[in-house]
Amino acid sequence: MSKLKVVVIGTGVGGAGAAALMQHRGCDVTILDKNPYIGGRCHSFEKDGFIVDSGIHMFSRGRKGPLAEINSIVGGDLRWLTPRTQITFVIEGKYRLPYCQPIYDPEMAMKLAYIAGMSTLKSLGGRGTASGRKSIMNNSLFRIMKREGGITGLIREMINLVSINEIYLCELDDVTVMDFLLGFTDNLMIHQVVAYAAMILTSTPYTVCSAGEMLWSMMKQVYASSFGVPEGASRAIPVAYIEAMQRDGGDLRLSTAADEILVNNGEVTGVKTENGEEIPADVVISNAGILLTSEMVGEKNLPADYYRRAHELKTSYSHITRKYALSSKVADIGSNGVFNVPDMDPETMFDYVDNGTVPDDAYMFTSIPTEVDHNLAEPGRQLIIMGMPGPRSGDKSTADHCNRILEKGEQKLFSYFPRVKDHIDWTVQTNSHYYSHMTGKPTGDSIGIGQIVGQTGEHKPQIKTPIKNLYLVGGDVGGRGIGTELAAAGALRVSDLIMADPAHYGV
């Protein structure tokens, strides 16, 4: 019996995971990437003794999520670092909230209750006045908290509400996060925090982000309580998968771009590379995203509505970054990162991304990876990566806008850590064009297609394409989740789907 011949296009988390799983299950896998390195957006590079993520990564369910599941199936070498406090939220520019694991952690619950109380007082008229006290009593959040037993009761109630019922979550796919939240509270600070959370989890504004998708992702993270990072920076994930695949006999070809997906009578037959080589395949799995995959298949081979939709789907925003290599450890916030929640109207918080301006207050997603993984730099040195939402378009002309956004973020960073600016050895930055070049797509999106109302749940593009034996894997397709975990979950599903197809036995 001959082995199923599988060609995977792309070594992003989804492609690398699918390749390792298929090889482990007895297929004969060749994986290609146009880049000279492994990992797509989950790549890390080395510079002057630092190992630096080309993105800025934290992993929602770490050692308990789909990334770890693939590693354990294929026998990979991935190891996780899971600190109790992974990040610190800075709210209204002054309150510091450690995000502790588990979420019931008493330190976190007490701080959260204090901050929520102070914010309610501020927005509803102040502690001293009778009208202030009355407004607090009438505030919907306050009523829920009173009924359910304080802030921990509220959190428990929220978890109960959404965690047990997948059908309910599906209904929420067609509701925006903002509208869902307004059903509970109009507390400004809570809306600001949730708008921030929607952006960080899905790279989309909460005014359009799908509530079903975001709640699913959040609740999975809360339950797992294993938010963390892999040892050796983000690249350790795709590298562990590819090394496992190679140990099992699979073939990796870097700097090899697929140019065409070969199709005969509606069935895939192989891949043609940019230099004209034809690689025959029983199955092709594309990690290049639905848009580029449709282009490689060709309009004439696809149903018109599929081809059109592939071009109409809206992507997530980009996250652009500036990285600071520091000569000594001068930023200390007791965790692996700072999330600055902008003190702005949550409805318009991210309008700057589309209208070419800079925000009044900077949304910052700042990771200090050397706080958790001490092997990412020489002893005593520190790495900070500061990230902010940036334009979707990967066109070079967006570079100036990206610069201006990052300048604003830098001002905020220096206001929190004034000593940083005197200890910088070097900085590098990544913009939307950088990610577009990395993935080969016209957009610099950080996730893939946006997890917005109309594009999640049953509306999401499927792993199976209209072409027989051509499958998609990666951020654009399949199930639910956050960034890399969405891609990994798709890899698990695609390999199950292919191996369950009786047509593939006895190849």
Query: Which parts of this chain interact with ligand FAD (CB under 6 A)?
Result: 9-15, 32-35, 40-42, 55-59, 257-258, 287-288, 292, 319, 321, 387, 435, 439-440, 446-448, 474-475, 482-485, 487
**Short-list 273, 275, 307, 303, CA closest to 290:** 307
257 or 399: whose CB is closer to ligand FAD?
A: 257
84 or 437: whose CB is closer to ligand FAD?
A: 437
142 or 435: whose CB is closer to ligand FAD?
A: 435
CB of 394 vs ligand FAD, minimal distance in Å = 11
76 or 474: whose CB is closer to ligand FAD?
A: 474
Span between the terminal Cα atoms of the chain, in Å: 6
| Chain Cα centroid distance, residue 340 | 18
Q: Which residues pair with 284 in a beta bridge?
A: 7, 470
Distance (Å, rounded) from C-alpha 357 to C-alpha 115?
30
What string of DSSP letters covers 198-241? HHHHHSS-TTTBBHHHHHHHHHHHHHH---BEETT-TTHHHHHH
Read off the amino acid at residue 82.
Answer: T
**Short-list 218, 227, 221, 224, CA closest to 84:** 227
CB of 464 vs ligand FAD, minimal distance in Å = 17
| Chain Cα centroid distance, residue 209 | 14
CB of 448 vs ligand FAD, minimal distance in Å = 5
CB of 489 vs ligand FAD, minimal distance in Å = 11
Read off the amino acid at residue 276.
Answer: G
CB of 132 vs ligand FAD, minimal distance in Å = 40
- Identify the helix (H) or strand (E) that includes residue 53: strand 50-53
Position closest to ligand FAD via CB:
12
Angle between helix 432-439 and 399-416 (nearest 10): 120
User: What DSSP state is assigned to residue 458?
Assistant: G
CB of 54 vs ligand FAD, minimal distance in Å = 8
**What's the token pair of residue 444?**
């610099």
154 or 222: whose CB is closer to ligand FAD?
A: 222
Q: Which residues pair with 99 in a beta bridge?
A: 87
40 or 346: whose CB is closer to ligand FAD?
A: 40
42 or 81: whose CB is closer to ligand FAD?
A: 42
CB of 228 vs ligand FAD, minimal distance in Å = 11
